[in-house]
Structure formats: structure tokens, C-alpha cells
Amino acid sequence: MLVRSFAGGVVFSGNKVLLRKCEDGWMLPREQLRDGELPNEVALKKISQKSGIQAEIISNAGQTSYECIYFPMTRQTPFLNKVTWYIMKSHNDKVNEENIRNDSAFVNIEEAMNLMKYNQDKSLVNLSFTKYKQMEQLN
């Protein structure tokens, strides 16, 4: 089994979380790491490039792993995708929806639970949102 490393962000703006639409449905934004890249830099770059949102990392959110059963034609080996997650805050308190690209949107937390496919992503959002709110109260 091949292991691929990714980095991603659980980005909040108020009571909403940033999701990206992909072929599998809605998911948290993430990007594969290339040789020598740092996870925190890749996560920030992914958010900015793919959604147009400028965010800052406020905490580490942990890691998740996904076994990929998709087999590319050139390889017949399954993948294990390991993702390092960061809790992030959008620099804009009030997000201008026109600035977000069509495949990304800030979604109410409850709605995000219905849109996301993977239970571990749902748990990650719930835990990250609790931590995010606690950190916001301290500031």
C-alpha cells in the first residue's frame, strides 16, 4: 500500500465552515504534499488558491487517514491518504460570497454535517468548531 501525505484546513468564519465541492461531494479543502513542502504552508496555500480565502492557522486539528480503493490504470496498488489538519480562521469576519470561487462555500455547521460524506470529517469539524469557539472567547 502506498502512503500519500496531505495537509488541509478546517476554516471557520463565524458559525460557518469552508467546504469544497469535488466529484465525491462536499469536503474540507486539502492538498497533497510534494517533496520538501511543509504541511502548514501547503494547507494555507490550498485555501488561498482554490477558494480565494485568506486565512490564518490558529491551532493544529489532528490527523485523519483514508484508504483509497481507486486504482489508477497505471498502478494496481491501493493508497492510504494521511491528512494533517489545521483549524483556521478566515481573515474576513463577513465573507463576501462573490469573492469565493464557485466550487467553495462557507456553510452553516449543521448544513455541513449533511453535505459531507465521511464521518471522520464530520467529527473533525465538530471538534474543531468547539475548539475554535473556545479560542475566540479567550481573545
User: How many whole angstroms separate alpha carbon 78 and alpha carbon 67?
Assistant: 7
Q: Are 61 and 128 in contact (CB under 8 A)?
A: yes
The per-residue pLDDT string of the chain (139 residues; one tens digit each, 9 = 90 and over) reads: 788 999 999 999 999 999 998 887 899 999 999 989 999 999 999 888 888 889 999 999 999 998 876 655 666 677 889 999 999 999 875 555 555 666 888 999 999 999 998 899 999 999 999 999 999 888 7
φ and ψ of 46, to 5 deg: -60, -45
pLDDT of residue 74: 62
pLDDT for the residue 24: 78
| pTM given for the model | 0.87
